[in-house]
Each structure stands twice: as structure tokens, then as C-alpha cells.
Amino acid sequence: MKHILPTITALWALLLQHSNSLQIQRRDDLSYSEPSYPSPWMDPEADGWQDAYAKAKDFVSQLTLLEKVNLTTGVGWMSERCVGNAGSIPRLGMRGLCMQDGPLGIRISDYNSVFPSGMTAAATWDRGLMYRRGKAIGDESKGKGINVLLGPAAGPLGRLPAGGRNWEGFSPDPWLSGVGFAETIMGVQDAGVIATAKHWVGNEQEHFRQAGEAQGYGYDIDESMSSNIDDKTMHELYMWPFQDAVRAGVGAVMCAYTQVNNSYSCQNSKIMNGLLKHELGFQGFVMSDWQAQHAGAATAVAGLDMTMPGDTSFNTGVSYWGANLTLAVLNGTVPEYRVDDMAMRIMAAFFKVGQEVEQPDINFSSWTRDTIGPVHAVAEKDIKQVNFQVDVRDNHGDLIREIAARATVLLKNEGALPLKKPKLLAVIGEDAGPNPDGPNGCSDRGCNQGTLALGWGSGTSNLPYLVTPDMALQQRALQDGSRYESIFDNWGAADQIQTLVSQEDATSIVFVNADAGEGFINVDDNMGDRKNLTLWNNGDILIKKVSAICPNTIVVIHSVGPVLIDDYKNNPNITAIVWAALPGQESGNSLVDVLYGRVNPAGRTPFTWGKTREDYGVHLLEEANNGNGAPQDTFSEGVYIDYRHFDSKNITPTYEFGYGLSYTTFEYSNIKVRKTHAGAYVAAEGETMEAPTFGDSEGEGGDLADYQYADNIDPVTLFIYPYLNGTTGEEASGDPYYGMNPEDFLPEGATDSSAQPLHPAGGQPGGNPGLWDVMYVVSATIKNTGDLVGDEVPQLYVSLGGTDDPPKVLRGFDRIRIDPGHSAVFRADITRRDLSNWDVVSQNWVISDCTKKVYIGSSSRNIQLEAKLK
């Protein structure tokens, strides 16, 4: 008889749905995420995926249902050597997949490099460097046996200046963020490693991102927060960089902890099925964030393809998928084509980046630095050599130094820089020196001691060394014959500081910082998100103290985003201010390059520096505002974040988006606009094929007896397997309600396998190809009018002209090196997407009739040239 009985996972989904509907009935003002089913299956003809699809098809066609399920389900937290591990297929010689953080280098490993953060890379405004950074991170990952790198990030985008993880991503501007995202992805994947675009989508703050975590810091909430985002804002802002990622061929996307419009990201059919797979044509796989899966069958039909780390929550020993997914297919709850599609997506991403079934083993363990240790850490089983200390750093130190130097933003310079053999260099502040507990002294960098080279959380990496500013400056001072003294005490040492910085001819450099990170670590009452935008460790007082005495005070800031410095930035004794971002392991060397003029600074701030926290107009949700239910965070500012908000409200910032000085000067002239002959935009039409299935598994109706643990398997404690625990549905699921009809609770259309219409704004990975038609080519001449060679970063902004459009939005940039007295031509293509708004009615991109203008300048406020787009 046909099994049409639901699993415990499906029941869970039912309960969740039921409780959601109860809540919605009670609170019909809560924002709502509309359903989108069925889950789109892969397209064998998708641009860039044909070969990968063919290889995946050959491979997946050989798999049994158990093997397919094993690909989709992690083995459990700390059950193998990587941060996430998906099941292996020993019969075909395939070891388990290794997923490892993260966005700026390999997490919890050794002999790896620590790169500048994503935001720091964005500050270079240099596509080539962004790519090379991604490639180097990819090469290192490859060398360790990592299959899937858990980065880069563009969610958070940076809506909230205090958001804890903004530094992992690039910029609150979606265009700049999209460039950083895509270049990094291409770099990582060219190295043969699958990149993961995360976190999909709208995960803009750490507070309340996970109900359990929030309970830990005192909030009695049962559900994680909901980011309530309207359709236009979703498309024009938060989805934008992900669209670039999909177009760049990203292999994996990680769904987030948070809910979107009151549906958990990892079971939200609208964002996974509808936006990502249907509209954007994403062909790779969606992986859950760690414990972000909250249902079984419901997540499968909503578009999730892989659950990480595999257990329901860390070390429960049971999974929403694993055996439950096997059972759900056998009893017909989840259609077989959906599991086949999961396996296809995972394997297509695998083959797309050039990975092969037979591959070198993983040569490190995340859970110990000892050479010998357990392969299955949580079970303490299979003790052998797990760390091989493979040095994957190559010469990446040079690249890291170059990126951080080129990212460094000169915010103020009254002639103090570049330094020329200062007679006495007085370096003040904890942020110049080492962490007394060692460069890797705090787990996942959950402290702020010594110089700040990166933030905290899963987006961190163990430093192979850390060149502190103090080390590098002292070395340079010795070469120059300068006198050099440094004091790292931010709180005491007042007399010593006074004595030092008051001396005749002293050049003082005050080092200050502001840190942030991921919500599972609380540092000094900053729950991941910053509790304010001021400097840490008494930084303001330190700056004021030194600058009150020393007429040549230079301030160097290492920070995760903007800090409030308006109070003293105009003090004439402060002769220079430098933002050195989060530079990674070569911190001091990169800084010395800029301070001494080996590198002429051309970093540009990738966010706005406001005078006050309130000036940003958006607020971190710091209190649960929905009783025990999901805190509600409504993004009512729409697309107006960062400079878009400051511009539209006419608020003068401390330093505007895109701002940064040079040791030379540039002049802009001769703007030219050429209209191309791009054809009309054609909405995608037609249908997909019917849902394909692969392999010879029995699928629905299979005999449960065939899916039991084989006699030769000795299960590892807490390890997640795909096998069933019994020969009846009741036994296998442990579900007392086993027997309900899935049609009663799986959403309408969820199991449909018929051909589906294409999305009008879709058609190919990244969406409708017509969106990338070039509509205008704009150029301008830039002359270096100073007497030093330098890079200039011309920026192109467009005014879309509508009543609900920001005054201008970034739509192009370049970083161009120009010799003194010479000129260069800046050229930028403006695409259809660049000129379009998302039309919520037609569900497509539309160019409005409003007058459109183009601006070229050296920052978002220093506009030099403008023209109409006719």
C-alpha cells in the first residue's frame, strides 16, 4: 500500500504553520510572506551550468535515495573535522564535503592567512584586488581540503551602522557590495572551491537573530526576529548584490537565521523558491545557516537543499532531514524530484568549480590544534592524525599588505602626512600594540585587546602572525633615525603620555578602535551589534588628551564601520585622521606604507560617517517588541539607508560615502554620454521542463525495510545518518501522529512536478539577461594636477528621478593610476538594471519616464560633472 503518512518533520511544519496562522489571526497587522511553490528544479541549459549539470546528472543518476539524502544532510555539529560536513558516498569513492568559514580566510585552522575584511576590500574600490583576494582565500581553502567556503557575505548589507557583522560584507551600497560580492565569488570559485553567498536575506542585525541566543541574554522570546521588507526595497536594495552573485555563478547560498516577513528564511518559499530560484535563476544549492532550519518537509519544498550542521540543534543526535527526509520521500510527503534536485544542485556546484569525486583528504581539524585527535570530535572517536599543518599561505602576505594599504582612507590631512623622518614619533594607544594574550588569545576573537585587525565571530580566522602598527612603525623609525616611544595604556599612564607628547617636535599618533561581531559572543555588553558608535577603550578621551597637548596629533582608527568623531575632527592640533579599516595580519606594514607615502592613499569610505547615531535614521532593534513572539523589525525606511538617507534628508555627514583624500590632486572634465542601441527589454516567456528525476531509487512507495542500518555499520554517537530506525513509519519517525495526509498540511502546489512558467524578470542565472544590456556609456577625463603619482576613484552616480528615488545612487566606479601632469579617461557602462526600478505590479524591472541624470565625482558629495541621460 502506498505510504502517504507524514513524518515528524512534516508534523512539525504543520504545527508551525498552525501557530503562525493563529498568530496572524490575532495580529493581522504582521507582515506576511506569500507562498511560492513548487520549488524550481535545475535548468540543464542555464548559462554557465551546462557542463556542470551534465556531470552532475551522470553522478546523481548512480545514487540511491539514501546516498542522495546523505548529500543533503550534515553529519551533526562537530561530528567531523570541518565546521560543516555533508555525508559521504563511499560506494563511489566520494568523501564527505567540507564546509568551512569564512569571508576573510579559513576559520579555526592553522598556517593560513588572515586577509583584510570584506568591508576593507570594498574600501579599495578596486575590482582587481577584490578578485585577487577571493582567489587567494580560495587557493588556501583548496589547500586544506575545503569544498565549500562559507563566504563572502552581503547580508548584512549594512542597513544599521551598529550592525555586528557589517565588516564581514562590503558596503551598505548595494552596487558596490554587488561588485565586491561577485569579484570575490569568481576568485574563490576559480580556485576550485564553492563560494557561499550569505546570509539570504535581510539578516541585518545580531540582536534576536536566534530566539535561543536571545534567551541567553535575557529575552523570553520563542521565535527569531522578523525582518519585514517590502517588495521594492527587497529588489532594489537587499537582493541586489545577491543578483550579482547568482550572475557570477555562485555555487551556494546560505539562508539566514532571521525570518523574512514572518517566515523563517530557511523555510520561506517566497525568498528561496520565488526570488532566488525562480526569479534569479539560481542553479546551485541553498544551505541553512547553523541551526537555522526549523522544520523538515516544509523546508524541503520551500527550497532548502542542504541542512547544516545537520542536527536539529547542536548535538541533539536527530535531524529534521537525514532519516526523516528518507522517510518523507518514501511515504510521498516530499516528492522524489525535490531530493533529486537537491542532490543535483549540490553536485552541479561541485563540478562547476572543477572538483572531482576523488580528491585529497581534509588535512586539518577545526576542533583541535593537536596533531593527533578524533575525526569525530563530539563522539571522541576515530583517533588519528587530524592536523597535518599544511602551510597554504604562499606569498599572500604581500597581497594582504597591498589590499590593506590600498583600502586605507585618508580622512583628514593638514600637511602632516606623508611622514618624513619625524624627529620623535610618539605612538599612543592599546590599538597600536599586541594583545597580551597573544594574537589568537580569544576564541573567535571575542575580545578587543591590542590592535584590531578583524572583528569577532565565525567570520574570523587564526592569525599566523600579526604585524602590529607598533612593530612596523618602530622598524621604520629605526631606519630613519627617528626617536621612537610607544605607550599602550589607554586608561592610566597619563603622566607618561603627557611627558612624551609634550616634547618639542613630537609627532604623535593615537591609535583607537571600535569592534563588533557575531551575536553568539558578547564583548563588553556588545551583543554582536555595537551598543553605540563611539570608540572603544576610552578612545575619545585619549585623542582629546593627546591633541590638547601635541600640535601634531595624527589619529589612526581601526574599526568595523563608522565611529562618531565629529566632536574633535576639526581640532587644529589633529593634523591627520586615517581610517585603517580591518587590515588583517599585515596591519602595521600596510599602515606604514600609507603614512610614509610608499602608497599614495586612495581608499574611499564604503559607508557614511554620521555626526550622531540618530542621523542615520534607522535603529537597531534592541528590545523585543512582540511579547514572546518574533520581534518585528520593519524596514520602513525602504531604500533610504546610508548616503541615500543623508542625501534625501539633507543631513551633513562627518565624511560622506565615497570620500577619501590623496597626497596628490585631481581635476575632472569633459563628461560625455553616449546612448547605445540596446534593444527593447523582453520579459522572459515560456516554460521549464517537467521536474526531472534521476537514479533508480524506488522513491515513493519504497519498502522501508530496504532503508535500515546495514549490519556492518557501527553508528558513531550523535552522528546523523540517512538510515531509518525501524520498518514501520511510526517506528522510523517516532511520530505519534504518523498517518495524517500530507495534502492536509503541505502548501498548495508544493509537490507539483508539471512544467512551470518562467518568471518575466528571470530566464537565466542573475535574472533576465536584458537587465545587463548597456544603455549608455559615460566617460570623463581625469587629470593628476599634483606632483605625485596617485590613484583616483571616480564614482558615477545616477538620479533615477522618481518621487520615491534617492537623490542619487552609485552605478559605477573605477580606480585609475595617473602620473603627475597626466590625464586618464574614466569610462563606465550604465546597464538597464542600473536605470530601472522594481515594479511591484508587473513584477519586473521598469525604466520610469522620469528625467535621469548622471553625476561623476570623487565622492557622493563632491560631484564634479553632470549630464542628462537622454
Q: Are 144 and 393 in contact (CB under 8 A)?
A: no
Place of cell 576550485: 192
Name which position in 114, 136, 150, 297 contacts ligand NOJ (CB under 6 A).
150
Name which position in 132, 142, 198, 811 contacts ligand NOJ (CB under 6 A).
198
- Cα separation, 863 vs 480, whole angstroms: 40
Judged by CB under 6 A, the number of residues near ligand NOJ is 8
- Cα separation, 655 vs 699, whole angstroms: 60
660-689 residues in contact with ligand NOJ (CB under 6 A) are none
Place of cell 588556501: 140
Torsion of CA 163, 166, 168, 174, to 10 degrees: 150
Kindly state whether residue 546 participates in binding ligand NOJ, applying the rule CB under 6 A: no
Name which position in 49, 264, 290, 655 contacts ligand NOJ (CB under 6 A).
290
Among residues 74 and 332, whose Cβ is nearest to ligand NOJ? 74
Minimum CB distance to ligand NOJ, residue 199 (Å) = 6
Minimum CB distance to ligand NOJ, residue 224 (Å) = 12
Per the DSSP assignment, residues forming a β-bridge with 643 are none
Minimum CB distance to ligand NOJ, residue 381 (Å) = 22
Provide the b/e sequence for 402-415 (b: ≥16 CB within 10 Å): bbbbbbbbbbbbee
Number of Cβ within 10 Å of residue 859's Cβ equals 20
The residue length of the chain stands at: 870
Minimum CB distance to ligand NOJ, residue 86 (Å) = 13
Minimum CB distance to ligand NOJ, residue 521 (Å) = 11
Among residues 108 and 761, whose Cβ is nearest to ligand NOJ? 108
Among residues 104 and 771, whose Cβ is nearest to ligand NOJ? 104
Among residues 150 and 718, whose Cβ is nearest to ligand NOJ? 150
Provide the b/e sequence for 456-492 (b: ≥16 CB within 10 Å): bbbbbbbbbebbbbbbbbbebbeeeebebbbbbebee
- Cα separation, 524 vs 532, whole angstroms: 12
Indicate the burial class of 723 (C-beta count within 10 angstroms; 0-12, 13-18, 19 or more): middle
Minimum CB distance to ligand NOJ, residue 40 (Å) = 25
Minimum CB distance to ligand NOJ, residue 426 (Å) = 40
Number of Cβ within 10 Å of residue 670's Cβ equals 12
Torsion of CA 796, 802, 805, 810, to 10 degrees: -10
CA 613 to chain centre: 24
Minimum CB distance to ligand NOJ, residue 291 (Å) = 8
Among residues 289 and 633, whose Cβ is nearest to ligand NOJ? 289
Q: Which amino acid appears at position 196 of this protein?
A: T
Per the DSSP assignment, residues forming a β-bridge with 409 are 579
- Cα separation, 107 vs 54, whole angstroms: 33
289 is catalytic: yes
Among residues 321 and 681, whose Cβ is nearest to ligand NOJ? 321
Q: Which amino acid appears at position 620 of this protein?
A: L
Name which position in 43, 289, 311, 593 contacts ligand NOJ (CB under 6 A).
289
Among residues 320 and 657, whose Cβ is nearest to ligand NOJ? 320
Number of Cβ within 10 Å of residue 31's Cβ equals 18
Q: Are 539 and 490 in contact (CB under 8 A)?
A: yes
Minimum CB distance to ligand NOJ, residue 168 (Å) = 8
Active-site option among 244, 289, 431, 515: 289
Among residues 139 and 444, whose Cβ is nearest to ligand NOJ? 444
Minimum CB distance to ligand NOJ, residue 542 (Å) = 33
Among residues 314 and 772, whose Cβ is nearest to ligand NOJ? 314
Minimum CB distance to ligand NOJ, residue 102 (Å) = 6
Kindly state whether residue 83 participates in binding ligand NOJ, applying the rule CB under 6 A: yes
Read out DSSP for 500-561? Answer: HHTSTTEEEEEEEEE--B-TT--BTTB-SS-S-SSPSTTHHHHHHHHHHH-SSEEEEEEESS
Among residues 84 and 464, whose Cβ is nearest to ligand NOJ? 84
Q: Are 850 and 796 in contact (CB under 8 A)?
A: no
Please name the residues in contact with 411: beta carbons below 8 A apart, sequence gap of 6 or more.
Answer: 569, 577, 578, 579, 605, 609, 655, 659, 660, 661
Kindly state whether residue 800 participates in binding ligand NOJ, applying the rule CB under 6 A: no
Q: Residue 666: what are its φ and ψ, rounded to 5°?
A: -135, 155
Please list the alpha-helical segments (H only) found in 691-809: 729-733
Among residues 52 and 97, whose Cβ is nearest to ligand NOJ? 97
- Cα separation, 217 vs 204, whole angstroms: 19
Peptide bond into 715 cis (omega under 30): no
Per the DSSP assignment, residues forming a β-bridge with 575 are none
* 766 closest CA partner among 280, 221, 184: 280
423-482 residues in contact with ligand NOJ (CB under 6 A) are 458
For the CA atoms of the chain, what is the radius of gyration?
27
Among residues 112 and 859, whose Cβ is nearest to ligand NOJ? 112
Name which position in 80, 101, 236, 305 contacts ligand NOJ (CB under 6 A).
101
Minimum CB distance to ligand NOJ, residue 88 (Å) = 20
Among residues 224 and 507, whose Cβ is nearest to ligand NOJ? 224
- Cα separation, 760 vs 843, whole angstroms: 7
Per the DSSP assignment, residues forming a β-bridge with 254 are 198, 287
Provide the b/e sequence for 175-211 (b: ≥16 CB within 10 Å): bbbbbbbbbbbbbbbbbbbbbbbbbbbbbbbbbbbbb
Minimum CB distance to ligand NOJ, residue 307 (Å) = 13
Query: Catalytic residues, which ones?
Result: 289
Q: Which residues bind ligand NOJ (CB under 6 A)?
A: 83, 101-102, 150, 198, 289-290, 458
